[in-house]
Amino acid sequence: MSKSLNKLLLEIEHYIDDPREGLTEEIFYFISKLTPLVNVDLLIKNELNETLLTWRDDKFYGPAWHIPGGIIRFREKFDSRILKVARKELGAEVTHEEHPIAIRELFAKGRDIRGHFISLLCPCRLKTSIKADQFLEGKPKHGQWAWHKNAPDNLLANQLTFSKYINEDFKY
């Protein structure tokens, strides 16, 4: 490695406090251009075999329903990320199966930043009620949730690969 590159990398490291706690937005976006990100997606079913989806509306993916999920931090077990995602996105506690039921490579077409994921689909059950806002009618807002019998037409494009797990005939 050249001395100048090594110097630049050391300077970048100066901006990273503890990667286990997450990264600054700029560092995270840079890393996401270089390597796939590993994330957990929480497949939460109710007693009617409906799937809980949350509404997302951000600059990367636009407005769409999606399976709640989050990127695993450095030296974080996927078990821990599952519990944190449930608390952060739903304000709820969950239990989950020991192993994912699916592992998929997800790509965002035409984009390098946050464009490649290795996704672990993890079956979960709610232990507590959801504190986040439920979508009831009108136009959904970012962070709202709703139960779905089948994968909606406006499911996040890179999660279409999970449609069979969302559809009401799938049981785990």
Rounded distance between C-alpha atoms, residue 22 and residue 122, angstroms? 21
Torsion angle, alpha carbons of 129, 132, 135, 136, to 10 = 60
Is 22 part of a structural domain of the chain? no
* Helix, strand, coil tally for the chain in percent (to 5): 25, 30, 45
pTM over 0.85: yes
Domain boundaries, position 142: 35-166
CATH number of the domain encompassing residue 86: 3.90.79.10
Residue 11 belongs to some domain of the structure = no
pLDDT tens sequence for the chain (172 residues): 688 999 998 998 888 888 888 888 899 899 999 999 999 999 999 999 999 999 999 888 889 999 999 999 999 999 999 999 999 999 999 999 999 999 999 998 888 999 999 999 999 999 999 999 999 999 999 999 999 999 999 999 999 999 999 997 877 7
Is residue 5 one of the residues assigned to a domain? no
For the chain, report the end-to-end CA distance as a whole number of angstroms: 49
Residue 6 belongs to some domain of the structure: no
CA torsion 18-19-25-29 (nearest 10°) is 150
Residue 120, both tokens: 């672990």
Domain assignment of residue 16, yes or no? no
Structurally, how many domains does the chain consist of? 1
In a domain, 30, yes or no: no
